[in-house]
Each structure stands twice: as C-alpha cells, then as structure tokens.
A and B are shown apart, each in its own frame.
Chain A
Amino acid sequence: SQQGEEDPQALSIQEGENATMNCSYKTSINNLQWYRQNSGRGLVHLILIRSNEREKHSGRLRVTLDTSKKSSSLLITASRAADTASYFCATDAVSGNTPLVFGKGTRLSVIA
C-alpha cells in the first residue's frame, strides 16, 4: 500500500509556536499533497510538492520531501487558534491515474 501515515496522531501547542507533522509512505510517488480538514467539513488542499522537489513554501507553511526516506514534513509557523484542524498527507503514485491515498491524519489543537 502506498498509504501515507502521519505522525503524531495528535498534537497540542500554544498559539505562536510552530507545529510539525510528519508523513511516511511506501511506494514511489509523483507528488505528495497536504490537506486540512476542519471538524465535520471537507478537505481543503494546502500544498503540493513534486517528487523532484525537496522543499516548498506557501505563506506560513513549509513542506519538505525526502524521497530516499519516503517521508515528508509539514511545518506551520507562528500557529494560530484558527489552525486547529486535522491535517492529512496524500500520495499520488507513479503508475497511471491512480487516486490520491490519504493517511489517518494528525489532529492539531492550537490553544490561545
């Protein structure tokens, strides 16, 4: 299975701190994407990193990808209470138009 696995499962931090979430996967990928889900809502795309990229930034988000270790990390800097949500990584396999496969997610709580 190419399924991504996030860790930790849950993370609780104070507002203003940085939050780091990790994702590991098993097979070769075209790209890896991070999504956010507010409680009871749909997933919202945050950022995509391609297999030939090592790092990408978008606002307060920083994503790294290490294809040799089959792992990625998502860093949220200067966290806010509004960042409280579940964060999922999703992998897009090399072979054909396969669907995105999501991990179990990291539940982030940012305490004001």
Chain B
Amino acid sequence: EPEVTQTPSHQVTQMGQEVILRCVPISNHLYFYWYRQILGQKVEFLVSFYNNEISEKSEIFDDQFSVERPDGSNFTLKIRSTKLEDSAMYFCASKGQGLVEKLFFGSGTQLSVL
C-alpha cells in the first residue's frame, strides 16, 4: 500500500535554530497537510496546501513557519527560529482528489528543541 514518508524520524535542535522537516506524500495525492502533537495531547492542525499554495492555516502557523513543495514530490515544513514550545511530533498527511476522503499520515518527526 502506498504510504507517506517523513524524514528525519527524530530531530534535535537548539533554540533559535532553523529546522526543515521533510515529507514525501503519496504520489497522486493533491492535498497536503501538516499537523503536530505535543506529547500526550491532541493532534493540532497547522496548515493545508493545495495547488501549490496554502489553502488554510491555523493560529499556530505564524510567521516562523513556512511550507514548500519544491520539486513536485517533497513537501517541507520549515521553522525559522525554533522555540522550546515547538517541541512536538510533527505529522505530514496527504489525501487524493475529492473532498470526502481519508487522510494518509506519515509516521512523524519527533522534534526536540533544547
């Protein structure tokens, strides 16, 4: 079965540093998402991306965050200057065409900001 892959699985960084989290969505999918989950808490929506632009973003997704689909296969989340509170598991997800379809999630990147 096709799957969403995320790299790296773990990322440790110093506060103030930039990080890039990478995702390869399922190849024929058109909608892409980033979610995050702080340990033991709910899964929070960050941003959705369609047709090479952001379609929706949450309050969490401030100016420190950006997304890009640089080459038609990768989908990246960049955090420009990390804060301690950015420590979380970050999940990439994708879905195919049509509005009523399930999301396919990657296994996540555990980001630890020290």
User: Which of B35, B42, B89, B106 sits near A104, CB closer than 8 Å?
Assistant: B42
- The count of chain A contact residues (Cβ–Cβ below 8 Å) is 24
**Bound Cα distance A75, B41 (Å):** 22
User: Residue-by-residue, is A64-98 near B (CB-CB < 8 Å gives 1, otherwise 0)?
Assistant: 00000000000000000000000010001000011
A6–chain B nearest beta-carbon distance, Å? 9
Q: Which residue of B lies closest to A6 (CB)?
A: B42
Within the complex, the shortest CB–CB distance from B44 to chain A, in Å, comes to: 8
Question: Which secondary structure dominates where chain B touches chain A?
Answer: strand
CA distance A101 to B48 in the complex (A): 12
Are A41 and B42 neighbours in the complex by a CB distance under 8 Å?
A: no
Asked whether B55 lies within 8 Å of A42 as measured between CB atoms, the reply is no
A99 pairs with B100, CB closer than 8 A: no
The bracket for how many chain B residues form the interface is: 20 to 34
What separation, in Å, do the CA atoms of A30 and B55 have in the docked complex?
19
A105 touches B42 (CB 8 A): yes
| Nearest CB of chain B from residue A25's CB, rounded to whole Å | 13
Residues of A within 8 A of B50 (CB): 97
In the bound complex, residues from chain B placing their C-beta under 8 Å from that of A41 are 107-108
A43-B91, A45-B104 as given contacts; A100 in contact with B42, CB under 8 Å: no
Contact of A43 among B41, B48, B55, B105 (CB under 8 A): B105
Question: Is A42's CB under 8 angstroms from B105's CB?
Answer: yes
Report whether A102 and B42 are in contact in the complex, using a CB–CB cutoff of 8 Å: yes
Query: B43 in the interface, Cβ–Cβ < 8 Å?
Result: yes
Once bound together, how far apart are the Cα atoms of A30 and B102, in whole Å?
A: 13
In angstroms, Cα B110 to Cα A94, docked, is 32
Contact of B100 among A42, A44, A92, A101 (CB under 8 A): A92
A3 to B43, CA, bound (A): 11
When A and B form their complex, which 9 residue pairs have the shortest distance between CB atoms, in order from nearest?
Answer: A42-B105, A45-B102, A102-B43, A104-B42, A43-B105, A42-B107, A99-B45, A99-B48, A42-B106
User: Given contacts A43-B91, A44-B105, could you give 14 more A-B pairs where the C-beta distance is less than 8 Å?
Assistant: A30-B99, A31-B100, A40-B89, A43-B93, A43-B105, A45-B102, A45-B104, A97-B50, A97-B99, A98-B56, A100-B45, A100-B103, A102-B35, A103-B42
